Amino acid sequence: MSVRPPSSLTVGLNRACRARKGFAGIDDVTRRAGPVRFSADGTARGCGGREPSGVASGLRQVPVSLSGVQTARLVVAPEPPDGTLALADRARSRSECR
C-alpha cells in the first residue's frame, strides 16, 4: 500500500494480539523526495515506537507491540524539507493474534 504523507490507517483488532509485523519505507518512484517518519499507537495504551525511514532506505521491518490494544493506528508523517512529496509504502503487514 502506498500513501502520501501525512496519512494514517486504523486497524481494528477483533481478538487479543501480541504484535504487528510488516515493512515500511519510501517508494522507489519517489525515493529522492524528502524523508518520512513511521509510527504507531493504539487504544488502551500506547504501543510501538517511532521508526524513521530515510530517503534512500529500502523497505525495513517495523515491528509494533499490540499487547492490550484493541485498535492500532499506523501513521506516516512527512519530515522536512520535502517529506510531503514522497510516497510511503507499507508491505507484507500482518498481526500475530491468538
What digits encode the pLDDT tens for the residues 39-86?
877 654 444 444 444 433 567 777 788 888 888 888 888 877 777 888
Which fold would CATH assign to domain 2-97? Jelly Rolls (2.60.120)
pLDDT score recorded for residue 58: 61
The yes-or-no verdict on residue 34 having pLDDT over 50 is: yes
Nine-digit cell at 96? 500475530
Tens digit of pLDDT for each residue in 9-28?
888 888 888 888 888 888 88
Place of cell 483488532: 13
The sheet carrying 50-53 orders its strands as 7-12, 71-78, 36-42, 50-53
pLDDT score recorded for residue 43: 58
pLDDT score recorded for residue 76: 84
Instruction: Report how far residue 39's alpha carbon sits from residue 20's, in angstroms, rounded to the nearest whole number.
Output: 12
